[in-house]
C-alpha cells in the first residue's frame, strides 16, 4: 500500500558528500513545535582525535563485495589490514563521489558507470553508493531503536541530497542506489542541495544567520547566490524568492572542483616538493595508518585555521615518526636540510614528531580553491540574468573556513555575506525540512 507522505511519523535525510557523509532525522509532530528539533549523530575516529557530525565517505568491502566497514571504522580497519599485508583481498573506496564529477558534467553518468578503488579495482558505482546509503540508513534505524522509538519501515520519509548540477540521469542513478540500499521508491525524495540549504536558512532565527540582522534575504523578490562549498566540489546557484515563497533559479547551476580537498592536495604537493612525490606515495602504501593520521590532523588544523588567536602565526601539525625517520633514511638527509633547499626555506620547520608551518604559508594551501571560487562568482556576476543579486549565502563544510569567508568578503565588498551557524549541516537540516 502506498504511503501517504504527509502522514509519515519521521523525516530522515542523508547527506552523501565527497569527503564526509551523515544523516539527520526528526519526528514530524515535534518539528511543528520546534523547526530545528532534529537529531544529527556524532562520529568519532578510533583515537578520538576527530569528533564530528560527519564521518568519512569511505567504504571497505571484502572480495565478495560485502560491506566490512564504513567511515572512520573503514579507515582504521583498512590501515590495520595494510600493516599486516592483508589488504589486497579488499576493496577500499574513498572520495569516490568525486570520480563521478566529470561524468555528471559530460552527461555520461548511468547505472552502469564504474568507479575504481584506491588500487584501481573497478566496481559498479551504484553498488558502492548503495553500500554507503544502506550503512547510514541502518545506523539511523538503530539509533531510533536505542532511543526507544518503535518504527516501521512505512513510518519514515527519506530525503537524499544531490548537487544542483546533477541532471536527471544522475538523479535516477542516486534513486537506484537508494532502492538497492533498501529505501522504497515511494518513500524517497530527491532534494537539490542549494534548495535544501535555502529552506534551512529561511527558517533560522535571525541570531543564527551571521552577516544579516533581518529576514529580508528571503522576502519575495529577494535575489541571492548560494555558495555551497563542500569537500570535493563547489556548487553555485542563484535564486529569486517568488511571491508564493517558492524559489526560482535565475541561472543554470554551476561550479567546479574547488572544495576543501583541494587544500589537502596543495599541502600534499608541498610535502612532495620537499621529499618527492614518489616518497609520499610509497609512504602512503607502506604506512597507511600513519598517513591517515597525518591528514586527519591536517583536517583538524584546516578547520581551525583563522579561528581565535593566531598571534604566534604558526600552525603545528603532528607528524608520525615513521615519516620523519623514513624520509631521512630513504633520502639520506634530514627533512630540515631538504626543506632549506626548497622554496619553503624559513617557512616550514621539522621536529621529530611535529612540523611547524608559518601561517602565511599555510594560507597558501587555500589559494587554489579560493581563487577558483572567486573567479567563477565574478564571471557569474557579469551575466544579465543575475543582475540585482547582492547577497551570498555560504553553506557546506568548507564554508565554515574563516579563510574562505574572509576571501569572499574582500572579493565582494558590496554583497552581504550570510553564513548560518553549522554551515556544514545546512543542506542536511534543510533536507529534513524539505520532506
SS (H, E, C) 187-218: HEEEEEHHHHHHHHHHHCCHHHEECCCCCHHH
**321 and 186 assigned to the same domain:** no
Total count of residues recorded for the chain? 435
SS (H, E, C) 380-402: HCCCHHHCCCCEEEEECHHHHCH
Instruction: Answer whether residue 203 is part of any domain.
Output: no
Task: For 114-160, write each residue's pLDDT tens digit.
Answer: 999 988 899 999 999 999 999 999 999 999 988 887 788 788 999 99
Q: Is 356 helix (H, G, I), strand (E, B) or coil?
A: strand
Spatial contact of 96 and 130, defined as CB atoms under 8 Å apart:
no
Residue 425: CB atoms within 10 Å: 23
Per-residue cell: 264: 589537502
**41 and 142 assigned to the same domain:** yes
**217 and 290 assigned to the same domain:** no
Residue 255: CB atoms within 10 Å: 24
Spatial contact of 404 and 370, defined as CB atoms under 8 Å apart:
yes
Q: Is 56 helix (H, G, I), strand (E, B) or coil?
A: strand
**358 and 397 assigned to the same domain:** no
- Computed from CA positions of residues 428, 430, 431, 435, in that sequence, does the dihedral angle turn out positive or negative? positive
What total number of domains does the chain contain? 3
Spatial contact of 9 and 151, defined as CB atoms under 8 Å apart:
yes
**142 and 51 assigned to the same domain:** yes
pLDDT, residue 105, reads: 63
Provide φ and ψ at 49, rounded to 5°.
-75, -25
**69 and 142 assigned to the same domain:** yes
**395 and 344 assigned to the same domain:** no
> The domain containing residue 135 runs over which residues?
5-193+429-434
Q: How confident is the model over 393-417, as a mean pLDDT?
A: 94
pLDDT, residue 211, reads: 55
More confident site: 50 or 387: 387
Instruction: Answer whether residue 207 is part of any domain.
Output: no
**278 and 291 assigned to the same domain:** yes
**132 and 189 assigned to the same domain:** yes
CA distance 204 to 208: 6
**222 and 81 assigned to the same domain:** no
Q: Where are the beta strands (DSSP E) in 285-367?
A: 314-318, 348-350, 354-358
Output DSSP code: residue 373.
Answer: H
Instruction: Answer whether residue 201 is part of any domain.
Output: no
pLDDT, residue 2, reads: 37
Instruction: Answer whether residue 198 is part of any domain.
Output: no
428 pLDDT above the threshold of 90: yes
Per-residue cell: 420: 548560518
**166 and 249 assigned to the same domain:** no
Reduced to 3 DSSP states, what percent helix, strand and coil does the chain have, rounded to the nearest 5? 45, 25, 30
Task: For 149-188, write each residue's pLDDT tens digit.
Answer: 778 878 899 999 988 878 788 888 999 999 999 999 999 9
Q: What is the CATH number of the domain that holds 252?
A: 3.30.420.40
- Computed from CA positions of residues 269, 271, 273, 275, in that sequence, does the dihedral angle turn out positive or negative? negative
pLDDT, residue 33, reads: 79
Task: For 209-264, write each residue's pLDDT tens digit.
Answer: 555 544 566 788 889 999 999 988 899 999 988 888 788 888 888 888 899 999 99
Amino acid at each position: 500500500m502506498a504511503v501517504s507522505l504527509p502522514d509519515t511519523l519521521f523525516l530522515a535525510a542523508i547527506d552523501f558528500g565527497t569527503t564526509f557523509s551523515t544523516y539527520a532525522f526528526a519526528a514530524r509532530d515535534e518539528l511543528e513545535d520546534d523547526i530545528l528539533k532534529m537529531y544529527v549523530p556524532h562520529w568519532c575516529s578510533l583515537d578520538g582525535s576527530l569528533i564530528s557530525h560527519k564521518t568519512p565517505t569511505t567504504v571497505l568491502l571484502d572480495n565478495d563485495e560485502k560491506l566490512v566497514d564504513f567511515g572512520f571504522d573503514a579507515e582504521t580497519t583498512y590501515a590495520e589490514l595494510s600493516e599486516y599485508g592483508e589488504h589486497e583481498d579488499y576493496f577500499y573506496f574513498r572520495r569516490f563521489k568525486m570520480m563521478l564529477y566529470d561524468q555528471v558534467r559530460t552527461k555520461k553518468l548511468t547505472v552502469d558507470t564504474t568507479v575504481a578503488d584506491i588500487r584501481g579495482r573497478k566496481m559498479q558505482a551504484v553498488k558502492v553508493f548503495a553500500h554507503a546509503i544502506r550503512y547510514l540508513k541502518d545506523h539511523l534505524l538503530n539509533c531510533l531503536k536505542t532511543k526507544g522509538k518503535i518504527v516501521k519501515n512505512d513510518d519514515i520519509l527519506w530525503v537524499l541530497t544531490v548537487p544542483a548540477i546533477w541532471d536527471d540521469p544522475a538523479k535516477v542513478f542516486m534513486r537506484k542506489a537508494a532502492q538497492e540500499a533498501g529505501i522504497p521508491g515511494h518513500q524517497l525524495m530527491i532534494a537539490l542541495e542549494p534548495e535544501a540549504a535555502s529552506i534551512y536558512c529561511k527558517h533560522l532565527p535571525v541570531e543564527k544567520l551571521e552577516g544579516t540582522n533581518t529576514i529580508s534575504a528571503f522576502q519575495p523578490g529577494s535575489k541571492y547566490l548560494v555558495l555551497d562549498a563542500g569537500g570535493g566540489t563547489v556548487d553555485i546557484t542563484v535564486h529569486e524568492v517568488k511571491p508564493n515563497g517558492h524559489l526560482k533559479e535565475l541561472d543554470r547551476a554551476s561550479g567546479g572542483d574547488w572544495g576543501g580537498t583541494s587544500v589537502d592536495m596543495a599541502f600534499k604537493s608541498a610535502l612532495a616538493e620537499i621529499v618527492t612525490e614518489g616518497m609520499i606515495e610509497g609512504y602512503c602504501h607502506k604506512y597507511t595508518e600513519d598517513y591517515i593520521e597525518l591528514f586527519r590532523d591536517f583536517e583538524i588544523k584546516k578547520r581551525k585555521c583563522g579561528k581565535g588567536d593566531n598571534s604566534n602565526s604558526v600552525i603545528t601539525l603532528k607528524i608520525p615518526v615513521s615519516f620523519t625517520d623514513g624520509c631521512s633514511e630513504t633520502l639520506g638527509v634530514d627533512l630540515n636540510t631538504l626543506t632549506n633547499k626548497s622554496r619553503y626555506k624559513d617557512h616550514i620547520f621539522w621536529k621529530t614528531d611535529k612540523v611547524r608551518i608559518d601561517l602565511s604559508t599555510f594560507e597558501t594551501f587555500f589559494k587554489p580553491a579560493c581563487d577558483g571560487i572567486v573567479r567563477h562568482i565574478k564571471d557569474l556576476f557579469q551575466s544579465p540574468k543575475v543582475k540585482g543579486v547582492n547577497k551570498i549565502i555560504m553553506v557546506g563544510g568548507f564554508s565554515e573556513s574563516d579563510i574562505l569567508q574572509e576571501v569572499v568578503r574582500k572579493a565582494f565588498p558590496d554583497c552581504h555575506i550570510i553564513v548560518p551557524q553549522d554551515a556544514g549541516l545546512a543542506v542536511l537540516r534543510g533536507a529534513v525540512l524539505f520532506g
